[in-house]
Amino acid sequence: MSNFAQFWAEQFVDDSNNPFAGCLVYHYEAGTTSTKNTYRDRAKTTVSQQPEQGDSLGVVWFYGDGLYRLRVTTADNVLLYDWDNVDISPPSVSLDVANCEVGMVPVYAGPDNAFACDFLDLAFVSGCLPIANCGTGTDDIPTNGSLLIGNLTGGYTVAQLTAGAGIEIVNGDGSIEVGIANDEGAQSQPFGSIGQISTATGTTVTLNATIVTVRHPTDGTSFSLDSPVGVSASTSVAGLGGRDQTAAFSAESWIHAYWLYRPSDNEADPIVAADLKAVLSLNTPPTGPTLDSGPLMGLSYTHWSYAGTFRFDSSSAFIDARVAGNMLFYNLRKEVLSEGTASSETSVDLSGFVPPNALAVQLLGLFYNANNSAFTHPHAMISPYTGMAKESSFSFLTSGDDPEGDTQSFLCPNVFQQLYYVNNSDGGKQKKLHIYVQGYSLPNNGA
């Protein structure tokens, strides 16, 4: 039996084409006299009477389902017809499933209501392609610019795509365009500086560069600015061009300088170096300067780039230094070991002149004879690692039997702001070792 019934109608007339008004149609199971239901609607919710009765034109109609025996009489019960095995069923179709594959649908092949499996050619689909609710969790039809997007309940929701970091999405009429955000001046290159030549002296850091690329720490958008010159920040000022905090910086601390940029709301506005500012902060990258509270709150500076780290000494002034690319050089070398004589491995603290975020340290070792007398194969070793040997040390200083000294400049990694040394010259009684910090490299993507 089908879920739906099939419509059946017939007009009964005599040989002179005069209607049998009020004719009767009795409906039975095929081959029997047992009543079989007919209906007044396709959904089979209302059962018809037995028999069905025609109107004044001799027309009888009803909905049926399956095989029937129909006995037709006049209004006076004179038999007109006795029809058996009358099929009143919804039309059926034949489907050739021999070549069905995953992703195919029934496609009309005709004639005689024949269908075959084939892939749906969207070139011939017009309007809205219906989507059956096969576990999607929704019966909603996507509107223009929308589509079904999976949700946490295992179904789908009609929604529009939302852009992520650096992505631009345009939800248009019947279309969705996805691409890289096309803000004017936005760059895909890492943020940092090219050709940076900056200085620190007194209470002021002055930044200069050939190109600076600043970046938004959350959405990833970036802007490149050409030839910023003389962009300064002072520890004596709170806010833009000074500190990112209200309180003064403490002496003997590491101060980090940042480039700052505030994009215009008008995309037509040019991006110029004059819009680039500087700020000083105790925050190391990747945290960056404090922009959403304190003296910079509400100024809408959203993009920044790390420039360098400078030592604020005991007199609350910067140690004079110069940044070239990613290297900071002190104007005067800074001694971290004076006349070292230890004959066993001994640590040297660099924290007064090398910041924690420095990548490498530029050092100078001086090994000299204190009383100008000769010794047999005196030498000293310097390394950022413990357990050093001659082959593993970064600097091996020796003067052989010559009473003159030995000097070496070398670069080694910054390992917890410390070094180790050994002086092997008669217990270190005569030859002395001095170590100086000349500068350090910075993680500022500088070149």
CATH of the domain at 382: 2.60.120.380
202 belongs to a structural domain: yes
Q: How many CB atoms lie within 10 A of CB 264?
A: 13
Q: Are residues 263 and 281 in the same domain?
A: yes
Predicted local confidence at residue 294, as pLDDT = 93
Q: Are residues 434 and 351 in the same domain?
A: yes
Cα 204 from Cα 147, distance rounded (Å): 56
Domain boundary, last residue among 256, 289, 324: 324
SS3 231: strand
1 belongs to a structural domain: no
Domain boundary, last residue among 324, 352, 380: 324
446 belongs to a structural domain: no
256 belongs to a structural domain: yes
Predicted local confidence at residue 185, as pLDDT = 41
Which of 2-6, 145-149, 205-209 reaches the highest mean pLDDT? 205-209
Q: Are residues 204 and 316 in the same domain?
A: yes
Place 343 in a pLDDT band, splitting at 50, 70 and 90. confident
Q: Are residues 338 and 390 in the same domain?
A: yes
Q: Are residues 11 and 75 in the same domain?
A: yes
Q: How far is CA 333 from the centre of its chain?
A: 45
For 147, the domain range is 133-182
- pLDDT tens column, 368-405: 766 555 555 678 899 999 988 878 888 888 765 555 66
Q: Are residues 118 and 234 in the same domain?
A: no
295 belongs to a structural domain: yes
Q: Are residues 178 and 204 in the same domain?
A: no
Q: Are residues 343 and 430 in the same domain?
A: yes
- pLDDT tens column, 228-287: 999 999 999 999 999 999 999 999 999 999 999 998 877 667 777 778 999 999 999 999
Q: How many CB atoms lie within 10 A of CB 377?
A: 10
Place 123 in a pLDDT band, splitting at 50, 70 and 90. low
SS3 428: helix
- pLDDT tens column, 7-51: 999 999 999 999 999 999 999 999 999 999 999 999 999 999 999
Domain boundary, last residue among 272, 305, 324: 324
Beta-carbon contacts of residue 4 (< 8 Å; ≥ 6 apart): 42, 43, 44, 65, 90
In the chain, % of residues over pLDDT 70: 82
79 belongs to a structural domain: yes
Catalogue the long-range contacts made by 27-30 (C-beta closer than 8 Å, 24 or more residues apart).
27/51, 27/52, 27/62, 27/64, 27/68, 27/69, 27/70, 28/68, 28/69, 28/70, 28/71, 29/67, 29/68, 29/69, 30/67, 30/68, 30/69, 30/84, 30/85, 30/86
Q: Are residues 281 and 308 in the same domain?
A: yes
Minimal CA–CA distance to 445: which of 253, 207, 175, 194? 194
Q: Are residues 178 and 241 in the same domain?
A: no
Q: Are residues 196 and 274 in the same domain?
A: yes
Q: Are residues 318 and 208 in the same domain?
A: yes
Residue 129 pLDDT > 60? no
356 belongs to a structural domain: yes
- Domains: count for the chain: 5
430 belongs to a structural domain: yes
